[in-house]
Amino acid sequence: MSLDLSYLGIVATKAVYRNLPVSVLTEKAVARGEGTLSNTGALVVKTGKYTGRSANDKFIVDTPAVHDEIAWGKVNRPIEKEKYDAILAKVKAYLQNREIFVFDGFAGADPQYTKGFRIINELASQNLFIHQLLIRPTAEQLEGFTPDFTIIAAPGFKCIPEIDGVRSEAAILVNYEEKMVVICGSQYAGEIKKSVFSVMNYILPKQGVFPMHCSANIGKDGDSAVFFGLSGTGKTTLSADPNRKLIGDDEHGWADNSVFNFEGGCYAKCINLSAEKEPDIYNAIKFGALVENVVMDPETREFDFDDDSLAENSRVGYPVDYIPNAELSGMATSAPKTVIFLTADAYGVLPPISKLDKNQAMYYFVSGFTSKLAGTEIGITEPVPTFSTCFGEPFLPLDPSVYANMLAEKVEKSGANVYLVNTGWNGTGKRMKLAYTRAMITAALNGTLENSEFVTDPIFGVSVPTTCEGVPSELMIPINTWEDKAAYEAKAKELAKSFVENFKKYTHMSDEVVAAGPKA
């Protein structure tokens, strides 16, 4: 199916293909030399210089219509409309005499809040990716499709910083007023996915929907739960529960009567992937999946998931129906009853699970804490506290208080319980066993944790259960795992101080929320 893109100023193209089937997109990507097939049938590509999001190359077009809404700063950098217009004109010229691949699809599984996205790709492989990641339209929906937002991805176009007024050859330019995103220079497919997410984080709060960087699942009785957490905290692993259906693994909306997936697919990490530890992801790497930067034997076409020579952030994108226990509607028809904040505390001082009141929930949500570990980055020799606002700082165009207040309102209205879960370390020097964390989360989900006696942590102020079925009692209270109690107190106060210092930048938070934080 072809499409006339002249209304966008994209003219004189070799061909425009609209919503091609997965088989045809895969064929074209191979024929054009964009990638090769693995022994499982997945399309495998190398994204070159950019193997992850280029956060410093993202800009928001500063126009009078949006200027006062955006939380400008190191994440939301402004670019003048004149510079944006000049780059967009060059990209349109660059696309002349090329094959163009268009995917028209949706974000937001709840029909009341669904948004139409038109994705225009230079590469068939990237079009395959977004075909699998967004919600795919029916033939009838496609016939009457009108985009709410358009994304143009032209990785082959390289910016010239000194001429174009950007930082490097790559640029991600978001124009909220004109409902357009332009992606240049980077072939990393996650830039397209996260551009959709950034748009939803701007649009949905205006409709009373709380957008979340979280995974979500649903129990047999229809009770849903959401899991917030930064990379390495277990967000994907812990939401994949054999006794519950997966709604989605990354991006959701919380409306008054639903929690719904923004996407129709998953974008999972591949490093150290194994069939034993994560069988669902492992088995999803088949025909129709797009694999980025995983080393593959050129003869046998077998993957080596442990080889990070191309990228540590190797990835696979696939439709959610490749997961056997998925909720294919992409939504639960009631608000979440349980909210989980996941953190991996390398200091060993946060409780393995604790319950938060409303103000504490806002405080720890806005803080978005986890730890960078020694050896993960050059120069890191001991744990470093890491804070990502609302567990998704790079994708939030509005002030953090907007999202925090929405969390509080939704929790209050639904009566959800909020828990902080530490999947990291304790005083034994060992990381909490996955089986223990699962037992605590199960107890939180089914309500049995509420039968425990709770005590207040003297430094962090949270309510800590003293017992949980399936978990040794001595692990429940952090200080009990430390031989040197004075050392525990020193480390706990050190982490508390980091929280307090980090929170000073949030100038729009109430005194009650500020007071709900740790006591340094």
Q: Annotated catalytic, 315?
A: yes
Sign of CA dihedral 276, 277, 283, 288: negative
| Options 131, 235, 245, 491, the catalytic residue | 235
Catalytic residue among 115, 315, 337, 491: 315
In the set 18, 28, 53, 118, the catalytic residue is 53
- Measured CA to CA, the distance from residue 330 to residue 247 in angstroms comes to 5
Q: How far is residue 236 from each of residues 193, 328, 455, measured CA to CA in Å?
A: 17, 17, 30
Whether residue 175 contacts residue 70, with contact meaning beta carbons closer than 8 Å, is answered with no
Is residue 85 annotated as part of the catalytic site, yes or no? Answer: no
113/210 Cα distance (integer angstroms): 11
Q: 508 an active-site residue?
A: no
Collapsed DSSP state (helix, strand, coil) of residue 211 = strand
Which residue in 250, 280, 345, 457 is the catalytic one?
Answer: 250
Distance CA 374, CA 213 (A): 26
The answer to whether the beta carbons of residues 422 and 432 sit under 8 Å apart is: yes
Catalytic annotation, pick one of 2, 231, 376, 466: 231
The C-alpha atoms of residue 404 and residue 364 are separated, in whole angstroms, by 10
Task: Using only the alpha carbons of the chain, give its radius of gyration.
Answer: 23
213 is catalytic: yes
Q: In whole angstroms, give the CA distance from residue 81 to residue 96.
A: 23
Cα 500 vs. chain centroid, distance in angstroms? 26
CA 400 to chain centre: 16
Is-contact 341 364, C-beta < 8 A? Answer: yes
Q: Find the catalytic residue in 28, 194, 244, 491.
A: 194
Q: Cα angle at 104 between 100 and 106, to 5 degrees? A: 145
Residues 6+ apart with CB under 8 A from 213: 197, 228, 250, 251, 390, 391, 392, 395
For residues 110 and 262, is the Cβ–Cβ distance under 8 A?
A: no
Handedness of CA 244, 248, 254, 256 (dihedral sign): negative
Token digits of residue 215? 């995974």
Catalytic residue among 26, 125, 236, 463: 236
Catalytic residue among 90, 213, 245, 337: 213
CA angle 228, 230, 231 (to 5 degrees): 130
Active site residues: 53, 194, 213, 231, 235-236, 250, 315
